[in-house]
Structures are given as C-alpha cells and as structure tokens.
C-alpha cells in the first residue's frame, strides 16, 4: 500500500511545485509590467498571456493579449501584434469561446503583409486552425491547412526546393500560398452560400406561383357569383314590371312618381344631415387632437423646465438659481461672515501613480458622493472640487453664525468618520488608504456666477486663501480650525490648541485641532 502511495505523493508534490512556479512567474511578470512602457510593455504582456494560458487562467490571458494587441497596433509593431493575436486566439480556444479562428487568421495576414520572418508563429497559427477545423469536421479546409503546415515545416527544416534563395523570399512565398489557399476556402464557402440563396429563391418563386393560382381561382369564383346575381336580379325586375303593368298601368305610374319624389326629398335631407354630422365629427376630432397635442407639448415643456431647474439647483444655491431664472443674470454678492472648508487627501500623488485611471476616478467619485450627502444633510453649500481637493461653504445666504459653523464642524467630523470606516473596508482588500486633512476658516467673501456657457458658482477673497492654508497646515485624519472659528465654536466642541503655526505668504496663525467624537 505504501509502495502505491509514494508515487502518487511524489506526483502531487511535483504538481504543486509546478503550479507554484507558474504563479510566481505570473506575479513576477505583472510586477515588471507595472513600470514598463512601449515595446517592452508589449513583450511582457505577451509573456504574461502565455504564462496565464499555461496556468489555465484563460480570462486573464485574453485580457493581457488584448491590451498587448491594442498597444502594438498604436505603436505600429506588426510582429508583436501578430504574437498578441496568436496568444489571444489560444486563450479564447482554452476558454471555449467562438470566433477564435479569426485571431489566428489575422495573425497570419499581419505576418504576410508586413513580411515578418517568423515561420514558427505562422506554423503555430496554422496548427491552431487545423485543430479547429478538425473539431468542426471541415475536412476540405483541414486538407488545405495540412498542406500549408507541411510547407512551413519544410521551410523550418531547410528542405524547400528554393533553399538557395534569401530566407525572406521563401517565407513570403509560403505565406502567399497560405493566403491563396485561404482565399480558395473562402470562395468555396461563398459558392455554397450562393447555392443556398438560389435554392431559396426558387422555392419562393414556386410559392408565389401557387399563391397567384389560388388568387385567380378566387377571382373567377367571385365573377361567376356576380354574374348569377345579376341575371337573377334581371329576371326579378322583368317579372315585377309585368305583374304591375297587368294590374294597372296608370296607378303604378303615379305611385312610382310620388315615391320617386319622396325618395329624392328624403335622400337630399339625409345627405345634408350626414354632411353636417360628418363636419361636426371631423371638427370635434380635430379639436380634440389639437388639444391633446397642445397638452402633450405643455407637459413636455413643463417636465423639461423642471428638469432644467433641478439641474441648475445642483450647481447653484437656490437664491442664485431663482435670480438667474427670473432675471436671466445674477449679481455678485458680498457676505461679511461666511464659513469655508477645504478637504484634501494626503499622499494623493502617490496613490494616483500606483492606481489605474478608472479605479482612481471611481474612488474619488465614491468619496466625493459621500461628502455631497453629508454636507447637504448639514445645510452646507458645495462650491467645487479641484483634483483631490473638496471645497464647501456655509452662510450663503447668511445664517446665524454659531449654528452655521457648528454644522460645518459636525459635517467635517462625519466626513472623517466615514473615511475611517471606508478605509477599514479597503484595508481588508489591501487597497490604498484615503486619509484627509480638513481645514476650516471664516470671514468675508464675494460670491457669484462666472461664465456664460457653463455656469460656475464660486467664492473669492482672502478668507478662501486662508482656509486653504489652514487645511495645508493640518494633519491627516484631523480637523484643523483657525482662531476666528474657535472664537465662535470653542464652547461647543473640545479643541486642542496648536499655538501659532506659520503659513505661506501670511503671518503665523493660531490654530486648533477639534477632538473627534467629543462634543460638549
């Protein structure tokens, strides 16, 4: 029993070592790709695709091959692009996806059109196409591909009849033969499709002839019935007149005259009434249609107006938006005492360099969307975002000073708490941490709308610049406030004095850290 288990254990150990080696190789190549660009990056992406194919990770292999193929196309590297297409086709075959043959055919065309001397790659493409044709049962195509593979094998072994010619000439001839044979396959397929189309056309013409025959039979039956009715009507009319003439010719004539006169009167009256009724119905329907059309247009206009107003309120304060809607323009306003808050991520340049662009934008979108919800809940006004910096204000329009700054500090505290919880979840997935500095200052500002095409609400003044410096002088994960803010909210929150801190282009400022989660 032990004698049987020992080879099995050795086999499992070798498999595990091989799998570990493959994973280590993939990880090494991925690390090399991070700092590579241009042609070296294409080569490493192709190597990564091949390594993933060997490890059975066909989805990752296809993704790496697609990226390599796109970059090679942009940099005009046909040889590397042919390799990437070959790897992409093999990854699709491994994953059981369709249309993988097109990748190998495109790789062969690139080798031929650009005269790339890579016979091994051409032979590999043909072998892949042979396997697909054999699996699909396309025997004719398989025979042609077998001939092409034999020719490539002869070229690789140096056994071609024109061995004395330059190597590039042999390769071009081999690739030209391959292309001609592929065109023969395509022409055969086109001929088969043409036969199917002609067969379908013949069937359709036969069906049309049968339908026309049935239609003619129906028309002949209808004509026969109409003829019988006409003859019957004629016989009835002759019999009726004979009977009337026999009874009393004069009485019948008078009666017919009176009846004709009455019928004319009734017909004229009914025609008049029908005309009036038709005109009334037509007028009613037209009026109702116009009313519905007008109502639909008014509803659409109202919905678009509400939508436009809603979009305007997303970028402008309500008072500014109302003024812009009613007057078509706005006047700049001076606010003697407004609160300004800046938030900025520590080490964002490093995070941006180590992250993919799409991932970086998604992270900023997630964070700033959360900030928007928090400041909206506390009645603050978002001003703008500048890169990774977030700016908001309070007191636009003016509000009670204490309540305004208290709401801003509560919002800042909630933002830091949200970032703390978010970073905990990101650390479990080994993702970058977003640590924010927050700075708050108060003072006079000028607010208004700039631009005539895309409206942008902004604030200006020394208060804004000082608030930015207060934020830069802070620390990650903390809320730094100026002395002017502390004078108003110092009794509402627990604060730690930092003393006077030097800031750029200004005299040293007294600053305080707000103690997190410790409201008085």
Q: Which residues pair with 418 in a beta bridge?
A: none
Say how far apart CA 413 and CA 478 lie, in whole Å: 9
Question: Is the Cβ–Cβ distance between 494 and 413 less than 8 Å?
Answer: no
> Which is nearest to 105 in space by CA: 67, 144, 71?
144
User: What kind and span of H or E run contains 88?
Assistant: helix 78-94
Helices (H), 95-166: 101-113, 119-136, 139-157
What does 266-291 look like in DSSP terms, one character per residue?
HHHHHHHHHHHHHHHHHHHHHHHHHH
Instruction: Give ∠ CA 470-472-473 in degrees, rounded to 5.
Output: 65
Say how far apart CA 316 and CA 436 lie, in whole Å: 26
Peptide bond preceding 397 in cis form (omega within 30 of 0): yes
pTM of the entire predicted model? 0.43
SS3 175: helix
What does 13-38 look like in DSSP terms, one character per residue?
HHHHHHHHHHHHHHHHHHHHHHT--H
> Which is nearest to 440 in space by CA: 410, 473, 479, 475?
479
Instruction: Give ∠ CA 15-22-79 in degrees, rounded to 5.
Output: 135
Question: Is the Cβ–Cβ distance between 24 and 66 less than 8 Å?
Answer: no
CA atoms within 13 A on the CB side of 370: 16
Phi-psi region of 395 (alpha: psi -120 to 50; beta: other; left: phi over 0): left
**Digitized pLDDT (tens) for each residue of the chain, 520 residues in all:** 545 666 666 666 666 666 666 777 788 888 888 878 888 888 888 888 888 988 888 888 889 889 888 989 998 989 898 988 998 888 888 888 878 888 888 888 888 888 888 888 888 888 888 888 888 888 777 778 777 777 776 666 664 444 444 444 554 555 555 556 556 555 655 555 555 456 556 666 766 776 666 566 556 665 666 676 667 666 666 555 666 667 667 777 777 787 788 888 888 888 888 888 888 888 888 888 888 888 888 878 777 766 655 555 555 666 666 666 666 667 788 888 899 999 999 999 999 888 899 999 999 999 999 999 999 999 999 999 999 999 999 987 655 445 789 999 999 999 999 999 999 999 999 899 999 999 999 999 998 887 666 667 889 999 999 999 999 999 999 999 999 999 999 888 999 999 999 988 888 999 999 997 644 4
Residue 140 token pair: 């004719």
DSSP letter assigned to residue 516 = E
């Amino acid at each position: 029993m032990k004698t049987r288990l020992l080879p099995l254990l050795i086999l499992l150990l070798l498999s595990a070592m091989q799998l570990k080696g493959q994973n280590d190789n993939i990880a090494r190549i991925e690390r090399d790709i991070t700092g590579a660009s241009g042609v070296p990056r294409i080569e490493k992406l192709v190597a990564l695709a091949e390594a993933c194919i060997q490890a059975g990770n066909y989805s990752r292999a296809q993704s790496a091959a697609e990226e390599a193929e796109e970059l090679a196309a942009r940099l005009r590297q046909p040889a590397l692009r042919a390799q990437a297409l070959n790897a992409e086709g093999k990854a699709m075959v491994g994953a059981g996806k369709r249309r993988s043959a097109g990748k190998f055919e495109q790789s062969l065309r690139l080798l031929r059109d650009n005269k790339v001397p890579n016979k091994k790659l051409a032979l590999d493409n043909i072998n892949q196409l042979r396997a697909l044709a054999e699996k699909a049962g396309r025997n004719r195509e398989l025979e042609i591909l077998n001939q092409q593979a034999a020719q490539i094998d002869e070229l690789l072994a140096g056994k071609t009849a024109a061995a004395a010619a330059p190597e590039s000439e042999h390769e071009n001839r081999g690739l030209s033969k391959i292309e001609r044979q592929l065109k023969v396959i395509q022409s055969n397929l086109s001929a088969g499709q043409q036969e199917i189309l002609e067969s379908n056309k013949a069937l359709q013409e036969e069906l049309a002839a049968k339908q026309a025959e049935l239609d003619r039979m129906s028309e002949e039956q209808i004509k026969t019935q109409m003829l019988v009715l006409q003859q019957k009507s004629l016989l009835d009319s002759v019999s009726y007149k004979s009977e009337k003439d026999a009874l009393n010719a004069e009485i019948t004539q008078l009666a017919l005259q009176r009846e004709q006169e009455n019928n004319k009167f009734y017909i004229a009256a009914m025609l008049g009434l029908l005309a009036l009724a038709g005109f009334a119905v037509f007028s009613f329907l037209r009026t109702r249609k116009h009313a519905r059309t007008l109502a639909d247009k008014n509803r659409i206009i109202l919905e678009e107006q509400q939508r436009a107003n809603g979009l305007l309120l997303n970028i402008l304060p309500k008072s500014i938006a109302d003024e812009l809607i009613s007057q078509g323009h706005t006047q700049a306003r001076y606010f003697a005492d407004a609160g300004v808050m800046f938030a900025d991520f520590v080490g964002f340049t490093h995070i941006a360099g180590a992250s993919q662009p799409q991932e970086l934008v998604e992270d900023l979108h997630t964070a700033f969307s959360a900030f928007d919800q928090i400041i909206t809940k506390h009645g603050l006004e978002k001003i703008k975002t500048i890169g990774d910096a977030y700016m908001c204000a309070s007191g636009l329009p003016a509000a009670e000073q204490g309540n305004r700054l208290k709401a801003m500090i509560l919002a800042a505290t909630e933002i830091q708490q949200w970032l703390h919880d978010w970073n905990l979840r990101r650390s479990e997935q080994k993702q970058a941490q977003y640590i924010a500095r927050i700075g708050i200052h108060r003072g006079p500002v000028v607010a208004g709308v700039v631009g005539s095409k895309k409206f942008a609400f902004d604030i200006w003044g020394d208060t804004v610049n000082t608030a930015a410096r207060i934020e830069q002088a802070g620390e990650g994960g903390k809320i730094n406030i100026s002395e002017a803010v502390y004078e108003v909210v110092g009794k509402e929150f627990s604060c730690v004095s930092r003393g006077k801190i030097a800031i750029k282009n200004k005299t040293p400022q007294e600053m305080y850290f707000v103690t997190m989660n410790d409201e008085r």
